[in-house]
Amino acid sequence: MNKDMLMIDGLQYVNWNRGLFEQAQRAGLHAIHVTIAYWENSRETLENIGHWNRHFLDHGDLIMPVHQAADILEAKRLGKVGIIFGFQNCSPMEDDVKMVQILHQLGVRIMQLSYNNQSLLATGCYEEQDGGITRFGRQVISEMNRVGMIIDMSHSAEKSTLEAIEISERPIAITHANPTFFHAALRNKSDKVLRAIGESEGMLGFSMYPFHLKNGSDCTLPEFCQMIMQTAEMIGIDRLGIGSDLCENWDYSVLEWMRSGRWTMGIDHGEGTAASPSWPRQPTWFAGSKDMHTVAQGLEDVGFSETDVAKIMGQNWQSFFEKSFFGKART
């Protein structure tokens, strides 16, 4: 296995501190797509971005912002971890399409159109009825295409996802999910969606979050890697990456916020249950960023070539970002 390969994680939500930045750096991660917002409005999102700007000041020897794909290669050269800002919901832009460009100027490069519930743009995967992309959603997709912000449909419903793929002039991403043939979670994606991602040259990041895995926390590394092999046979090796969905160093109150936001007066257990509402236990082979090379070795062990392992662990994300992180003239 090539220990010097480019490594990119397509999604993490971590309560970062210097120790965790050091862990990611030691693990050889060169870029991480970090969640900046779930349900936050514009003002709250600005506060979160300000918090990250302080991280860049305090830990500039370990991390740097990523605004274009070349920044990831520069982070690798400098021995730093590149940080890509992303939203798991469209709430930071509120109801104003002009916010897309403003948020892009502040460094945001990825945005989900919905998070589990119906949004102003698209339907979330927990809704009973999927109305697809809304009129507003079509305008936002066009503006995201223009400025160079990736459309992420990880938490969106099937019709909305397929319509986003069709409407967008650029390939979209599902940054953190798994196939439903592996585990039939509401968050995972059907063969139809996977094939549409492949045909449109989009990207799928495989999740290590236990609720997305067969047998949950007890999923084995060979099972996970065989699932990736089967997906590669279906849609092609160049469309695949890692989006670990690592959630680390948070207490239960943050999980409640992720699930319930402001949309309910009650308690929503999401993928958990009333009997077991808290964070699930990570599989033993992926407790955190330090285990990324364990995943790479697992891929090699099930038969992936060194070249294909390198693609999955980072090169495919890099190629996708090179085609996505730049603006284009308005038509």
Start-to-end CA distance of the chain, whole Å, equals: 45
d(C-alpha 231, C-alpha 237), whole Å: 8
Q: Which amino acid belongs to residue 225?
A: C
Predicted local confidence at residue 279, as pLDDT: 84
Structure tokens at 16: 């970062």
The residue assigned the tokens 């916010």 is 99
- Asked if residues 325 and 317 have their Cβ atoms less than 8 Å apart, the reply is no
Structure tokens at 256: 């409640």
Predicted local confidence at residue 151, as pLDDT: 99
The helix/strand/coil state of 23 is: helix
Predicted local confidence at residue 252, as pLDDT: 81
Predicted local confidence at residue 184, as pLDDT: 96
Strand partners, 85: 34, 108
Q: What is the DSSP letter of 291?
A: G
- Asked if residues 178 and 212 have their Cβ atoms less than 8 Å apart, the reply is yes
State how far the alpha carbon of 161 is from the alpha carbons of 36, 218, 254, 315, in Å: 22, 29, 27, 24
Pairing of strands 203-206, 150-152: unpaired
State how far the alpha carbon of 331 is from the alpha carbons of 146, 149, 321, in Å: 9, 17, 22
Q: How many CB atoms lie within 10 A of CB 105?
A: 10
Structure tokens at 75: 């982070």
Predicted local confidence at residue 226, as pLDDT: 99
- Asked if residues 150 and 173 have their Cβ atoms less than 8 Å apart, the reply is yes
Predicted local confidence at residue 276, as pLDDT: 76
Structure tokens at 130: 């999927």
Predicted local confidence at residue 1, as pLDDT: 67
Predicted local confidence at residue 255, as pLDDT: 82
DSSP 66-128: -SSHHHHHHHHHHT-EEEEEEESSSGGGTT-TTHHHHHHHTTEEEEES-SSS--SS--BTT-S
Predicted local confidence at residue 270, as pLDDT: 81
The stretches in the chain having pLDDT less than 50 are none
Predicted local confidence at residue 15, as pLDDT: 96
> For 8-324, CATH number?
3.20.20.140
Q: State the maximum Cα–Cα separation within the chain, in Å, rounded to a whole number.
A: 53
